[in-house]
Amino acid sequence: MNANPADLRRPDWTVPLAAACVACSWFLMSSLNTDLGFVQLQFRFYHVLTLMHAPRRIVTGVDGSTLDALLFGTLCALVNLAALAPMVSRRRIAWLGCVAPFALMVLSGAILYHGLSQDLIADTGALGDTGSQLIHFANSLATRIGGVMTRRIHVGAGAYLAVAATAFLAVKGLLGYRRAL
């Protein structure tokens, strides 16, 4: 195979297409859905920072005009633009921009999972045995209620599309980085 090294560094049409899929999945489609029967809440990926700060919002909903959504939405847009770096730069390091959306999703998911899996009330031992038992009871009750609520929370189509598109971009970026010696 006699491939021109300059052609190996040039991205094809799949990079902007995957970046467009990421943009649609993060900003236009729901990533998480909470079905409470009488009300259904939809969360887009840019709401993740709000959910990290206040996990209770997954059952109460988020206001679309919050500062968290604006800040994280801006970060999401910038990270998605980083995936287009190979389109504007011939430098080898530009290919690593394709990994940024996948890295953001993995990091956000890990932080959100960690935050949601913590005890509701931390037992510092300052309240004695009775206080510790009461805290243990409250955490047990919260865990049971959380288990019921977990069955009401579903992954949306936006999350599936985002995982597929960001994983594709990450693989494409790593392969492009390796080839662009």
pLDDT at residue 10 is higher than 80 = no
Give the SS3 label for residue 55: coil
pLDDT at residue 125 is higher than 50 = yes
Residue type, 157: A
pLDDT tens per residue, range 34-85: 887 777 888 889 888 888 777 667 667 776 557 888 899 999 999 999 999 9
From CA 177, how far away is CA 8, in angstroms rounded? 10
Q: What is the largest CA-CA distance in the chain?
A: 76
pLDDT tens per residue, range 138-173: 766 666 666 556 666 778 889 999 999 999 999 999
DSSP H or E stretch at residue 74: helix 67-82
What percentage of the chain exceeds 90 in pLDDT? 35
From CA 130, how far away is CA 154, in angstroms rounded? 38
CB-CB contact of 101 with 80 (8 Å): yes
pLDDT at residue 1 is higher than 50 = no
Q: What is the CA radius of gyration of the chain?
A: 21
CA distances from 101 to 84, 97, 105, 129 (A): 11, 8, 6, 47
